[in-house]
Amino acid sequence: MTTRTRILTGITTTGTPHLGNYAGAIRPAILASQDANADSFYFLADYHALIKCDDPQRIQRSRMEIAATWLAGGLDVNRVTFYRQSDIPEIPELTWLLTCVAAKGLLNRAHAYKASVDKNVEAGEAPDAGISMGLYSYPVLMAADILMFNAHKVPVGRDQIQHVEMARDIGQRFNHLFGNGKEFFTMPEALIEESVATLPGLDGRKMSKSYDNTIPLFTSAKDMKDAISRIVTDSRAPGEAKDPDNSHLFTLFQAFASKAQEQEFRADLLQGLGWGEAKSRLFQLLDSQLSEPRERYHQLMSRPSDMEDLLLIGAKKARAVAAPFLAELREAVGLRSFVNQAAAPVAAKKKAAKAARFVSFREDDGSFRFRLLSADGEQLLLSRNFADGKAAGAVTKQLQSGDALDVRTEATGFSVWLDGAAVADSAEFADETSRDAAIAALRVALTPIED
């Protein structure tokens, strides 16, 4: 069986996506998510945003704009796990577990922290003036983002490679201290896409909000056209040959054009195409590709409840992986239940067993089914269809009898069998570790109550 590569990407929610974000990160990530062998996790890094921004309205607006941009750009939430970082409470808890093993000397070497210290020293300030623990601990939170889902590949810019390396260091330290021969954390690798475009802005420098040289992505066609008209070009008049290789207008065109369109545009510039006409062609190219996503974007922004629903579904998928894994990590470091030890009193076992419950229901076709729910309401099993309620009830009674469970695994799910027939199934889990944790939870839930 082919091993699926788990890829994780986060975008900090502090601004409005522009054309450079789309070409450099969002579009290639959406294309990568369509790989059948990829297991993709995409998240809104809103905890990270708090490090950089103290404007609540800006953060809230950015979260919506970035979510809408991903969805309008074609991200298929049925193929990927798309969630807000702040909807996963296991992430800050893992951050603390990792903080307790992360070396201060390692964090002292983080580029962002060192740059802030150097800036303070140059200005004659105290080295740590204005530096928050959020900024200092940023690499640990990023390590938790990555290690929580045991990502194999993390697409990052070159300035973020160090953070992926630090996640490896911290994960290895945890494995060494608490693993007892078990490797809890996969060692992630930074994925640098050399072919991904770094788009120039209006003035030729890298497109960036900090340079105020961006081209808006989904605000309106008029705003995009106005921005394109401000692209700085040389003074060559219409009829004079232009140099495509030294024109950032051509670089922008190239990032969105087919090979044939690129070659035609290059030839026309060499033949003396005027800059005004060139800008018009760039707008037409971009508008032809972005008008439909732009319309979807504005629909999404007008219906925030639709995005909320999708993100909560994504959070549930993410937590199906995170919650059982964090339970393992808590056990490893000694944060264990007093009642789930090998020698736990019978009374405690009784209480745990009573917490799970069967819920029967009738389908539209008249057949009967049941769910087995855990103490916190999570579905452990969903039965097959039965002709009548009596047959369904007999199966639930047999499952509670204390007889050995016949659990059969298949890929990342499992089914329960009685008398040679499958009677109930689990959900599909993100990986075999999550599946096995669910089987363990099922066995505990069906432990008979002794009087």
Q: Is 285 annotated as a binding residue?
A: no
Q: Is 367 annotated as a binding residue?
A: no
The beta-carbon contacts of 27-32 under 8 Å, at least 24 apart in sequence, are: 27/73, 28/155, 28/193, 28/196, 29/155, 30/70, 30/73, 30/74, 30/75, 32/7, 32/155
Q: Is 13 annotated as a binding residue?
A: yes
Q: Is 106 annotated as a binding residue?
A: no
CA 124, 130, 136, 139 dihedral sign is negative
Q: Is 10 annotated as a binding residue?
A: no
Q: Is 157 annotated as a binding residue?
A: yes
CA distance 173 to 334: 16
How many other C-beta atoms lie within 10 A of the C-beta of residue 307?
A: 18
**Distinct helix (H) and strand (E) counts, the chain:** 17, 11
Q: Is 148 annotated as a binding residue?
A: no
Q: Is 158 annotated as a binding residue?
A: yes
Q: Is 214 annotated as a binding residue?
A: no
Cβ(141)–Cβ(47) under 8 Å? yes
Q: Is 208 annotated as a binding residue?
A: yes
Q: Is 204 annotated as a binding residue?
A: no
Question: Are β-strands 368-373 and 379-383 bridged in parallel, bridged antiparallel, or unpaired?
Answer: antiparallel
Q: What is the DSSP letter of 384?
A: -
Q: Is 243 annotated as a binding residue?
A: no
Q: Is 302 annotated as a binding residue?
A: no
Q: Exposed, middle or buried, 126 (CB in 10 Å: 0-12/13-18/19+)?
A: exposed
Q: Exposed, middle or buried, 451 (CB in 10 Å: 0-12/13-18/19+)?
A: exposed
How many other C-beta atoms lie within 10 A of the C-beta of residue 114?
A: 11
Cβ(332)–Cβ(101) under 8 Å? no
For the annotated binding site, the residues are 12-14, 20-21, 145, 157-159, 199, 206-210
For the annotated binding site for ATP, the residues are 12-14, 20-21, 157-159, 199, 206-210
For the annotated binding site for L-tryptophan, the residues are 145
